[in-house]
Chains A and B, each alone.
Chain A
Amino acid sequence: MDRMNEELPPGVGPAWKALEARAAERAARVDVERVAARVLERLRREGAEAPRFRWMAPATLRAAAAVVVLVAGAAIVRLTLGSRESVRLPVGIPAMDSLSSPQLEAVWEATGEVSSVVDSVAPPSTGVSLDDLSETQLETLLASLSGAEG
């Protein structure tokens, strides 16, 4: 390692020597046996832990997927129309109507970061489902989405 120190220019070399001496001194105070014991203890406790998958009922997964599709569509519409017109989608997901609070929470966890997009694009669910939309409203919605895609 002395060879490495010789590479350092005058002025840096002595300062580095002092800094390194201090680092070595501090490192020597680290209790290696304690570190080893704690590392092994953590490995026993957490090491074999499988990736955290949370079981979700098929209905919940379908609802989550529907949310993602809806948000993506709304985001596309919003991007396409820009600031000229705000798009509001007074639509609830049919399957979500029957979900319990924990299930809904799981849905939002699954959709994760997109929930903020939901907030910015569409207001919270108004309790209206797709089934409640009139034919005209559905056509308008579909036209918006297909327009965004085209």
Chain B
Amino acid sequence: MGVPAQSVAADGDLIARYLAGEEPAAAELVRRHATALARFIAAHGAPEEELEDLTQETLFKAFRALGTFRGGASFRTWLLAIGGNVLKDRRRRWRRNQVVALTPDIRDPSGDPGSQAEAGWAAERLQEGVVKLARLQREVFLMRAQQGLGYDEIAAGLGISEGAARVHYHHAVKRLKAWIA
């Protein structure tokens, strides 16, 4: 799937403008991508109180490293990959502090109370499963299932082959299915 070509071009233009010293271009990029990035981070099981900080940290690191961005993947995908790295570091702290990331208000937004409770339980199990996935499996799964990216785009963003991206996704789904069964 991937980000439409026009959007990539527009991001590229904003990146060039920011690198040329135009600060508002960076603000525009943040506005464009921050919510999707936050969603990606939230689905990783990030605690609510750290979500904004993690989003900020990822964007800051991305802009600092913007000179190294070569455009092999879209800016969004590149950003998500950096988010994965930021999360990797933060995850150690969560493990130390035994953070329980989910609150019990996960529910199926369309269902009745009975099915909501069931969906809520399954979603909690699924979230646990997502957290327990190997890092690449988790990132590939979320990039595809949540962000709707194609394997080629995911592969470019994570620096792996397209075949490897497919395999990671397949294993992730298989493990998640077993986890919530």
Measured CB to CB, the residues of A under 8 A from B are: 1, 3-5, 7-9, 11-12, 14-24, 26-40, 42-43, 46-47
Q: Is the CB of A28 within 8 A of B35?
A: yes
Name A's interface SS. Answer: helix
Of A11, A14, A15, A40, which contacts B23 at CB under 8 A? A40
Q: Is the CB of B173 within 8 A of A39?
A: no
Can you list 12 residue pairs at the A/B interface with Cβ under 8 Å?
A1-B147, A4-B148, A17-B108, A19-B43, A19-B130, A21-B108, A23-B42, A28-B35, A29-B51, A30-B51, A34-B52, A40-B26
- Across-interface contacts of B41 in A (CB, < 8 A): 27
A147 CB, min distance to chain B CBs, angstroms: 43
Q: Is the CB of B43 within 8 A of A32?
A: no
Of all A-B residue pairs in the complex, the 6 with the closest CB atoms, nearest first, are: A15-B122, A27-B38, A18-B123, A27-B39, A23-B42, A36-B30
Q: Is the CB of B60 within 8 A of A11?
A: no
Of B1, B23, B40, B127, which contacts A19 at CB under 8 A? B127
**Interface Cβ pair total, 8 Å cutoff:** 133
Q: Is the CB of A12 within 8 A of B59?
A: no
- Across-interface contacts of A14 in B (CB, < 8 A): 108, 119, 122
Measured CB to CB, the residues of B under 8 A from A are: 1, 23, 26-27, 30-31, 34-36, 38-43, 48, 51-52, 55-56, 59-60, 63-64, 102, 105-109, 119-120, 122-123, 125-127, 130, 144-148, 173, 176-177, 180-181
- Across-interface contacts of B180 in A (CB, < 8 A): 11-12, 15
Check A15/B38 contact, CB under 8 A, given A32-B30, A35-B59, A36-B31. Answer: no
Q: Which single residue of chain B is at the shortest CB-CB distance from A19?
A: B123
Q: Is the CB of B127 within 8 A of A40?
A: no
Q: Which single residue of chain A is at the shortest CB-CB distance from B144?
A: A4
Q: Is the CB of B63 within 8 A of A18?
A: no
B21 CB, min distance to chain A CBs, angstroms: 11
**CA of A33 to CA of B28, assembled, Å:** 10
Q: Is the CB of A27 within 8 A of B35?
A: yes
**CA of A17 to CA of B119, assembled, Å:** 9
Q: Which single residue of chain A is at the shortest CB-CB distance from B106?
A: A22
- Across-interface contacts of B42 in A (CB, < 8 A): 22-24, 26-27
- Across-interface contacts of B145 in A (CB, < 8 A): 4-5, 7-8, 16, 20
Q: Is the CB of B27 within 8 A of A15?
A: no
Q: Which single residue of chain B is at the shortest CB-CB distance from A15?
A: B122
Q: Is the CB of B106 within 8 A of A18?
A: yes
Check A18/B39 contact, CB under 8 A, given A11-B180, A12-B180. Answer: no
Check A9/B123 contact, CB under 8 A, given A1-B148, A35-B55, A43-B63. Answer: no
B166 CB, min distance to chain A CBs, angstroms: 11
**CA of A29 to CA of B47, assembled, Å:** 13
- Across-interface contacts of B120 in A (CB, < 8 A): 18
Check A39/B35 contact, CB under 8 A, given A14-B108, A16-B145. Answer: no
Check A39/B123 contact, CB under 8 A, given A14-B108, A17-B108, A26-B51. Answer: no
Q: Is the CB of A18 within 8 A of B51?
A: no
